[in-house]
Structure 1
Amino acid sequence: MTRHEGDLERTFAALPPAHGRGFAQTWWGQAWLKALEETALDSGQLKAGRRLARAGAVGAVSVRPGRITAVVQDADRAAHRADVLLEELTAEQWDRFLDMAVERAGHVAALLDRKMPPHLVEDAAATGIELLPGMGDLEPECGCDAWDHCGHTAALCYQVARLLDQDPFVLLLMRGRGEDDLLNALQARSAAPTAGGPEPARREGVDAAEAYATGDILPPLPALPELPAEPGVPPSLDTETSAASGVEPAALEFLAARTATEAHRLLAQALRTGPEEHVAEAELTPGQDAVRLAAGSPADDVAERLADGSGRGREGLATAVRAWHLGGVAALVVLDEEWTVQGETHARACAALESAWDEEERPSLREQGNRWTVVGAPGQLRLGRDGRWWPYREERGRWVPAGAPTRDPATALAAALQAAEEERP
């Protein structure tokens, strides 16, 4: 492709034949084809043009404001110069186009990044500017002496669809503005304070404390939203498109559903406590988050991935999920962490154990770290850092959570021994 005369003429090299593929792959190319085929009067000439363009019979295409030109060869190798004229936009229409683009920040950003957003057509049409050709807008001139569109001019129009795939700014050039000219005008207009108006007077800032003090003159904030009855339902990923390598749709659907459930829980908590009372929760570690997800009853293949990813294995993850249901993160910490109880904390723990039972009923306990195991029975007490006692029972050689925590060690141990008794065959 070459450029001439300050971007007001561009020449595109001849494109190869388009056997076995569509003429247009992008939105802009397809939009041009749709406009062409919907406004054509002679479907026979369109078919002839498609055959010539598909066979690679269209030579280099020159694009200038209001005109596109190429040499097109017939099946018998006879060459004809074909021109198609398209009316240029007036200066007033270009002003309106630029005003419309500046009013929409997304259009400005895309155009200055040399991208043509598809919505540009609709937004321009809303201001009375048609970028794509309408009925009778494409005026033909051909060396074959046809008085209307012929196969040669139709082939040229089809080839333009492929050029728009390469660069949609070609359409704006046909309407009268080169790419650089357009972008410079758009950039200048975006930088101006107002279109044609005087520059506003510079204003001094306001002290932050003063602005905050006048906040009572602002309208009240809207009421908090009502809590939905249940979590939202994520979109289904059951489509005809195959997933990319390494992506499991079932796992993604499960994650989306759990995210919706967690969002519903957080919203319920925020609405219940009020924003001034809400305390932000500590961020979960990857291992803790894997347990949270596993607590949502995932499918077997997802549960297998969580077990492997967490490093716990299936049995260890099941135990962690049981702990999560009993006390969330705090229960997981008690499950995984063994720490040495010292000083005043140890003295309070021993006093609680001493006073929990009468002397003749007090069980024999073996202390190790923050864990007191009943001698000769499948029960254990674990002391959390917050001073609560967690009941544990022995199951197939492993200690597993047996109930919710309590401040009374006797109550906790009774729950542990009762759970062990119920599990006994």
Structure 2
Amino acid sequence: MITAREDRRRTFETVPAGVEAVTWWGRAWVAALERRAHDPARLARGRTYAAEGHVDAVTVTPGRIVAYVRGSRARPYRTELSLAAFTDAEWDEVLEAVAADPAALGALLEREVPQSLADTVLPGAGEPTARCSCPDPARPPCKHAAALCYRAARLLDSDPFVLLLLRGRGERELLDELTRRNAAHAAREQPDTAPDFPGVPARAAVARTVLPPLPAPLAVPDVVGLPPAYPEDPAAPDPLALDQLATDAAARALGLLATGVDPTGDLTLWQDAVRLASAHPTAGLTGAARTLYRDLSRATGRSTTALARAAAAWRQGGLPALTVLEEPWDPPAGPFDRARPALLAAGQGTFRPDRNRLTSRTRQLRLSREGLWYAYESRPEEEDWWPTTPPSPDPVTALLRHAES
């Protein structure tokens, strides 16, 4: 929570770029100092200093803007612009005027200085005054004060509450007080007649009530269901396209439901084609599904067999499973050192290691970078490995799942 002390002291390490004020109140701030300048050359030099970034961090407190400005010497000069802070009585008048004027209050909430406050909050006669630690003997403002003035105008452009802080009040306390006063004005303007709609006491409206528990969510299905059949109407949309859209929408919905992550993500063309094909198991492919496999294969430059194998991997575990299929890698020795004895002790025989793969005749286990074991199978005397069951962090479990399936 911001304290009153913190609310009345703000330091700006960076100031919006540029030296030209863009709001009417920012221009009025610059004009007030320029009217008091006695040397246009000093103003021009100050504008150059501001444009070249010679003004360091700007600190604003009630009545003062202070910054160190770097001139021609190595040591920067402490430069200060002063504006008279309002008394409590003056603030009471300002706040009442804003709270009673919806247009003024709306402008302030939109971070604009209300036009009705122009003559009140902007610099008056003799304001702002300038002081600087530089040795310039001329009457102020010096070029360092001019530079600070131009940079301060850009602050006022972006945040008019800086101007109000100079007059003595921080943003948080101003908004809190305006909220209170505006509510009081609204209450006074309400008619005394009772409202023609039913109401409840405020205490009853905010009282805690016991709500019934939410029903248990439905179980996530194991697979995506088939979309409904479409009528064979020549004028109807392409049934293959509709089937693909419906199936893909169901697959994405299932992925979101099960994982909270959209399965499309940042997929490549090949990966997205595999995702689409995975919704159609290759066993018992319909004519429409075969057409889909053919079109996806042509679009990606892969064979239908490669697409079917990749789709089987995707059904095994999504994108990580596809990565296991396509990207062998060299894992650390630890997982293999533990896996091979475990498989032997479980009566599964010996397995030959090759990169991230353990192979025994027609069975194979592949280790993913996430530490999961994926089961594969091949026909005897062939190197035609196909993904089978979902993965497991335990190699024996992954292999036995395949044996049981």
TM-score, length of structure 1 as denominator length: 0.41
TM-score, length of structure 2 as denominator length: 0.43
Greater relative CO (CA pairs within 8 A, separation 6+): 2
